[in-house]
């Protein structure tokens, strides 16, 4: 147990470390003016060594949300790939202002997403999103964004149990999804379902990709009937439970070893999607006892009151030690401001209030704009 407490202490200490990060983008003096009835929503995103390796001047994760009437980038009715759980407008959401916000970095402009250019750059390539339903959210978003640029392109959609792919046939670009909420293996044994923190046999399915976009955290906190495992396995021992941040740290370290041993950096670009926040508790933005239900505008403040989630600290700790180049899409701080962007009661598949996932069109489109900026700037 001493190791567990020691590891958690290291994580807590790491959260106090200073971070800085940059990505080279052309600066611009142009600004976007929002209607007088709207507020500019600002975020300061802590960043890390992964971004600093780019050596540029612009931190694309530090900026503000601005009202832009040219958004969204596509309509819910024009994209054939959106699952009901994300299709908020189709399932009755009455407001649409949340669709009109664009992320504006402080010291540069993001390049406008161009699906035609994306397909040309990745012609004949395979892109895989690996993770949980937040990966599904981002995978569908990217597919919709590309489709809006080439609406007449021939596509092939395959959906299976834990696997899906969309192929843009004219360019031979495959965008795949591999569902594995923990990245490490969840296996059935005599004792029951075991989450194995030191095993990652799933990784055999990720080899041979030209781009990998990883994500995990959403399921690590589940308890009770929604917990998909009975035991945590680590080093040949079974634990009924473990501090979830320590477990996440151990599992993500196993993933990092997989990247170090299996990724050829000259052939495969690797991204980590970052920690997607939830908005179930209004106290996080100083409005208890509210939730995301009924929220129609971003949080109007400079710093999100709840602060940086500890899962973000774990991700940065692991990525700071990885040997292969992995780019962190540091979406946490900018997404924390978007308490207005969840399906809430307007999901076609989830009962109750969903403050975990995001409407499409919506916030995941910004995540893909940031991905696009990292690839094309």
List, by residue number, the catalytic residues. Answer: 133, 354, 357
Q: What's the CA gap between 334 and 138, in Å, rounded?
A: 15
Could you tell me how far CA 223 lies from the centroid of its own chain? 22
- With b meaning 16 or more CB within 10 Å and e meaning fewer, what string describes 242-281? bebbbbbbbbbbbbbebbeeebeeeebbbbbbbbbbbbee
Dist. CA 307–CA 250, nearest whole Å: 23
Which of 8, 25, 17, 152 is closest to 78 using CA atoms? Answer: 152
DSSP label at residue 301: S
Q: Write out the two tokens for 229.
A: 């495992």
Q: What whole-number distance in Å separates Cα of residue 143 and Cα of residue 357?
A: 17
Structure token pair of residue 236:
């040949």
* Nearest-angstrom CA–CA distance, 298 and 338: 5
Characterize the bridge pairing of strands 211-214 and 126-131: parallel
What is the C-alpha to C-alpha distance for residues 338 and 354, in angstroms, rounded to an integer?
A: 14
């Amino acid at each position: 147990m001493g190791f567990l407490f020691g590891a958690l202490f290291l994580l807590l200490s790491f959260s106090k470390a200073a971070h800085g990060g940059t990505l080279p983008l052309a600066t611009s003096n142009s600004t976007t003016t929002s209607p007088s009835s709207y507020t500019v929503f600002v975020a300061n995103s802590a960043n890390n060594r992964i971004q600093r390796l780019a050596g540029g001047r612009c931190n694309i994760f530090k900026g503000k949300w601005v009202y832009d009437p040219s958004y969204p980038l596509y309509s819910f009715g024009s994209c054939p790939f959106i699952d009901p759980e994300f299709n908020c407008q189709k399932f009755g959401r009455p407001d649409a202002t949340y669709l009109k916000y664009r992320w504006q970095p402080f010291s540069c402009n993001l390049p406008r997403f161009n699906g035609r250019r994306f397909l040309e750059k990745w012609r004949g390539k395979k892109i895989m999103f690996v993770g949980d339903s937040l990966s599904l959210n981002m995978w569908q978003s990217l597919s919709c964004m590309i489709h809006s640029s080439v609406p007449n392109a021939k596509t092939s959609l395959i959906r299976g149990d834990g696997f899906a792919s969309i192929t843009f046939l004219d360019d031979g670009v495959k965008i795949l999804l591999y569902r594995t909420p923990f990245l490490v293996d969840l296996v059935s044994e005599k004792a029951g379902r075991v989450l194995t923190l030191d095993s990652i046999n799933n990784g055999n399915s990720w080899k041979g990709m030209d781009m990998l976009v990883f994500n995990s955290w959403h399921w690590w906190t589940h308890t009770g009937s929604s917990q998909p495992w009975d035991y945590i396995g680590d080093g040949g021992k079974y634990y009924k439970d473990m501090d979830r941040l320590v477990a996440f740290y151990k599992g993500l370290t196993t993933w990092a070893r997989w990247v170090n041993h299996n990724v050829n950096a000259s052939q495969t670009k690797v991204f980590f999607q970052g920690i997607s926040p939830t908005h179930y508790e209004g106290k996080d933005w100083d409005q208890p006892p509210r939730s995301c239900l009924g929220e129609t505008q971003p949080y109007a403040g400079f710093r999100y009151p709840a602060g940086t989630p500890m899962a973000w600290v774990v991700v940065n700790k692991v990525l700071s030690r990885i040997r292969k180049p992995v780019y962190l899409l540091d979406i946490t701080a900018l997404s924390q401001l978007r308490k207005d962007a969840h399906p809430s009661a307007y999901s076609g598949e989830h009962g109750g209030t969903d403050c975990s996932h995001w409407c499409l069109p919506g916030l995941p489109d910004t995540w893909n704009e940031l991905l696009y900026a990292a690839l094309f700037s």
